[in-house]
């Protein structure tokens, strides 16, 4: 599944256009490598997403095309959340 679609379906990011913008700005990594919106995500991948001054790392647990809001959190596991140091 495309990265931008996964972020929207899992509700890590609310809108696909926002997910695309964030990845195009170089703020998302898959398994330590910078990712684009079109990058492929599969179960077992680790995503690191930069939200403002916070980095969130999650492990992809499963890929589904559609999911109910209550079940979206089951698509990933949060591994760590850390505040970024000022540059």
The pair of structure tokens assigned to 65 is 């095309």
Closest CA to 37 of 46, 28, 45: 28
State the pTM of this model.
0.88
Strands (E) in the chain, as ranges, are 28-30, 33-34, 46-51, 54-60, 76-83
Cα distance between residue 46 and residue 55, in whole Å: 13
| Rg of the chain, C-alpha, whole Å | 12
Q: Rounded to the nearest 10 degrees, how much is the dihedral formed by the CA atoms of 34, 57, 20, 75?
A: 130
One digit per residue, the tens of pLDDT, for the chain of length 87 reads 999 999 999 999 999 999 999 999 999 999 999 999 999 999 999 999 999 899 999 999 999 998 998 999 999 999 999 997 765
CATH numbers and ranges of domains, the chain: 3-83 (3.10.290.10)
């Amino acid at each position: 599944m495309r990265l931008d679609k996964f972020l929207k379906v899992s509700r890590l990011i609310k809108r696909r256009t926002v997910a695309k913008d964030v990845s195009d700005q170089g703020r998302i990594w898959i398994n330590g490598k910078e990712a684009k919106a079109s990058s492929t995500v599969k179960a077992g991948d680790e995503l690191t997403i930069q939200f403002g001054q916070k980095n969130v790392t999650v492990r992809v647990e499963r890929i589904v095309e559609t999911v109910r809001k209550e079940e979206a959190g089951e698509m990933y596991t949060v591994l760590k959340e850390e505040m970024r140091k000022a540059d």
